Structure 1
């Protein structure tokens, strides 16, 4: 039976949820796949973990659930098998090769075929068993490597929300901003005199250069929305900065003899192709930021937190 795009995901769900025995060879697996493997007498899953399009956190959750897992690094099939029925589909388990998952995959046109012929199911089961024997066990080292590739894919994934207004997306808690390398960087002190002098020297090279003093763990290749909190709690927005793809640390020795690093970054006009202004952020996000700053900086210590994390403070 042919399954149209209108019914494709529902048919897969109807097959997987009640099944007591389940074998799946599905290239890419993402958040939400866990629900299909609960309360099974037996469940095996072959996925493609190494290309960066499978969510390694989901794989770890499936391991905890007792699902038997293997990796096939050139798998691109999507085959869902139960003892009496199988579906061959274009749909992955909540993810696809673009690194999209959850609501991000809406709008992608999928279809499949539902098969109940026992002879065809037997052939598919033989194919699955052969692939299972050829595939490799998933180790902790593979998962850690996959986390790096997954993060790269998520950062570079295409836009799925047509709204380009940054603050609107934040207030909507849009999944579009999830895992993007965009952060709020909060400080409470101005530069020391020595650092201020060094910054002025650097600005002879470029007016766009900015630095963060003794803050080596700032993320690379990321946008920083700079926030300064005064002694009475007033919030100032100084600018938007971009950190280099390869961290640039400038060593400096203070008059006290103490050595520090200056994290060099560059002032930018915006964040990718989002419509964003500091006035918009200040007027619409300021009160939410007060709550976030109170949690992340309880002792008035500098901190940075992602926009993704910040959105949980939106009520």
Structure 2
């Protein structure tokens, strides 16, 4: 059965909720994946992810570990597999994030495709692959999470923009309209105050912070 759109996520959520044994081999995990997938009951899960490529938010993995889930990582993993009691889903979708380092609302508009497997023979073949992957997976410690945090931030800071098709009059409009686009990016702003006229000097006094530096609208730059 081909899965796409809302049916893709709903199929995964419903099967996870109704299975006593879930093996999840999904490379990249983003912020909010646990809630998005409806993951509950640690005793029902075995999970492996990829912490080395920068596509996984280690905060989400840390939450899983702290809640008692069995989570390991594999530097080679790039698959996206959800194995339930009597079925499995294999497809393109990561756990709320992907290799392009998008998270949250940034994922909107991406076309994902999956396949629901129910044939016993195919499930047996998939189980062999999963057994090998879980056997080779590594335990996760604090050092792994620390390294993963840097790689995730580096990847997030270099992700391609998602506002390309939208037109804005200026940078400030873009910031207000798409706050998440600016999260985790090393953005630097300068303000040239040389040769100001009388009106410019008056505006300068209204935006000058107590430290003597200029501050921009806090609402717009909450990211």
Out of 181, 184, 187, the position equivalent to 2:186 is 181
Query: Is the partner of 1:87 in helix, strand or coil?
Result: strand
* Aligned-partner SS, 1:114: strand
CA apart distance, 1:302: 7.3
Query: Is the 2:89–2:114 contact (alpha carbons within 8 Å) kept by the matching residues of 1?
Result: yes
> Any conservation in 2 of the 1:46–1:71 contact (CA below 8 Å)?
yes
Distance 1:170 1:90 in 2: 30
Given that 2:87 and 2:116 are in contact with CA atoms closer than 8 Å, whether structure 1 keeps it comes out as yes
Higher helix proportion (structure 1 or 2):
2
Corresponding residue for residue 222 of structure 2: 311
Instruction: Please say if residues 9 and 91 of structure 1, whose CA atoms lie closer than 8 Å, have aligned partners that are also in contact.
Output: no
Q: What is the CA-CA distance between 1:146 and the residue it aligns to? A: 1.1
- Which residue of 89, 109, 112 maps to 2:111? 109
Q: Please give the secondary structure, in 2, of the residue aligned with 1:52.
A: coil
Alignment of 1:184-203 (within 5 A): none
Q: Is the 8 A contact 1:170 1:311 kept in 2?
A: no
Give the number of the structure whose residues are more often strand, by fraction.
1
SS in 2 for 1:79: strand
- 2:26 corresponds in structure 1 to 26
Normalised by the length of structure 2, the TM-score is 0.80
Q: State how far apart, in whole Å, the 2-side matches of 1:70 and 1:121 are.
A: 22
Structure 2 match to 1:74:
76
CA deviation profile, 1:10-55 (whole Å, cap 9, x unmatched):
3223323444432111111111112232234321111111011111
Partner of 1:153: 155
Q: Which runs of 5+ in 1 are unaligned?
A: 183-222, 227-236, 240-278
Q: 1:34 to 1:224 in 2, by over 3 A?
A: same
Equivalent pair of 2:96/2:104 in contact (CA under 8 Å): yes
In 1: Cα distance, 2:10 partner to 2:171 partner: 33
SS of alignment partner, residue 158 of structure 1: coil
CA distance in 1, matches of 2:20, 2:182: 37
1:86 & 1:58 partners in 2: Cα distance? 23
Residues 225 and 61 of structure 1: CA distance in aligned 2, closer, same or farther (over 3 Å): farther
The corresponding residue for 1:47 is: 49
User: Which structure's CA Rg is the greater one?
Assistant: 1
- Structure 2, unmatched stretches of 5+, are 195-199
Q: 1:41 to 1:161 in 2, by over 3 A?
A: same
- Answer yes or no: is the 8 Å Cα contact 1:22–1:40 preserved in 2: no
48-57 vs 19-28, greater mean Cα deviation = 19-28
Shift of 1:112: 1.0
2:96 is matched with which residue? 94
- Specify which structure has the bigger relative contact order, considering alpha-carbon pairs within 8 angstroms and separated by 6 or more residues: 2
Alpha-carbon distance in structure 1 between the residues aligned to 2:152 and 2:10: 27
TM normalised by structure 1 equals 0.58
